Amino acid sequence: MAKRELPPKKAIEARRHGIGEWFGHSFVRLTADQRRSFALESAKKRPALECPFRASCLRFDPRAVPGKGTNCTKAGGVCSLREYRKIRIGHHVTVEATGSLRTTCPYRFLQGGAIFQWIGHEILGHPSPLVVREIEFLEARGATTAEAKEVGYIDNVLVHPTRHPIHWCALEIQAVYFSGASMGPEFEALRDDRSALPFPVADRHPDYRSSGPKRLMPQLQIKVPALRRWGKKMSVLVDEDFFSSLGEMDDVPDLSNCDIAWFAVRYDESAGDAVLKPGFRRFTTLERAVEGLTGGRPVSLERFEETIGRRLLRQYPAQATSLSLGR
């Protein structure tokens, strides 16, 4: 009697976001011993590990690096997230990195000073601009000039090194926040995990809604109108995934007609640890940028009032009938 073949086992797939880069190193390239060492370091208030991105930027221009020194200053040391996929077929489990790196630490963008060279060349016409950090922009209302308390800053101002009078542009840098489980349980699990590539233990995801409309958009709405009156440009630096999360924005053809110059970077992992590379730049007005950050343009008045009518019919049928909304 022929042996009956069993049906193939069904693959069970799961996807979660986990550590993309940790203390400046690609998570997928770390050994179990390195992961354990980083997990122990992540519990310290002041990790004694150098941030390679701050260090490489220091070689470009020491004044472009925030704070003092080049050690990591981010709690937990996570530079970026990425998506991982786990496939289980019976007792066999494989884990692989499937997504691109999503920048969660703004200092990740400092690698080699490439962003300052790129933006300096595009906006100021010089690849080695002077970098001035955290310039006070807003003053608290009611404060006298002598006791004015600054409550708002521009992240960086890039200045042409030789032109007179000074030629400059503003630069805001925006990483992405994440929502969901904290990284604490992840660090604890990684102390003892000896697998080739651990799968994240909890659910989390990049939160572009918080990072864009809730954080970046108010900054632009406050700062860009003043810069526009001064005849100055606002540059905004994000990674390509952040930019792709935005709604459609109409471009303007030339720098002279824009309010905001968007610069989106990418990461090249072909030779090992990821290397930041210039991606693309886009010129937009403030109004188009706000539409992109909010995810679209306002609907027409007719469509908006049709929606009101449908809601009234459902929630207040008697009153809606008297308003002729049901006819």
Summarize pLDDT for 233-279 with one digit per residue, the tens. 999 999 999 999 998 888 998 999 999 999 999 999 998 899 999 99
Residues 134 and 207 in one domain: yes
Residues 222 and 318 in one domain: no
Residues 310 and 197 in one domain: no
Residues 178 and 203 in one domain: yes
Determine the pLDDT at residue 95. Answer: 93
Residues 316 and 229 in one domain: no
Cα→Cα distances 145→142, 152, 223, 230, 300, Å? 9, 16, 20, 21, 46
CB-facing half-sphere around the CA of 242: CA atoms within 13 A: 30
Q: Which domain holds residue 312?
A: 299-327
Question: Is 1 inside any structural domain?
Answer: no
Determine the pLDDT at residue 147. Answer: 42
Determine the pLDDT at residue 3. Answer: 63
Residues 266 and 308 in one domain: no
Determine the pLDDT at residue 150. Answer: 41
Domain count, the chain: 2
Determine the pLDDT at residue 326. Answer: 54
Alpha helices, H only, the chain: 32-42, 52-60, 114-119, 184-190, 208-209, 217-230, 240-244, 286-294, 301-315, 317-322
Residues 256 and 304 in one domain: no
Determine the pLDDT at residue 80. Answer: 97
Question: Is 4 inside any structural domain?
Answer: no
Determine the pLDDT at residue 45. Answer: 78
Residues 303 and 192 in one domain: no
Question: Is 42 inside any structural domain?
Answer: yes
Residues 93 and 64 in one domain: yes
Residues 262 and 208 in one domain: yes
My answer on whether omega of the bond before 165 falls inside 30° of 0, hence cis, is yes
Residues 292 and 308 in one domain: no
Classify 167 as helix, strand or coil: coil
Determine the pLDDT at residue 52. Answer: 96
Question: Which portions of the chain are predicted below pLDDT 50?
Answer: 146-151
Helix (H) / strand (E) element for 81: namely: strand 78-89
Question: Is 86 inside any structural domain?
Answer: yes
Residues 145 and 170 in one domain: yes
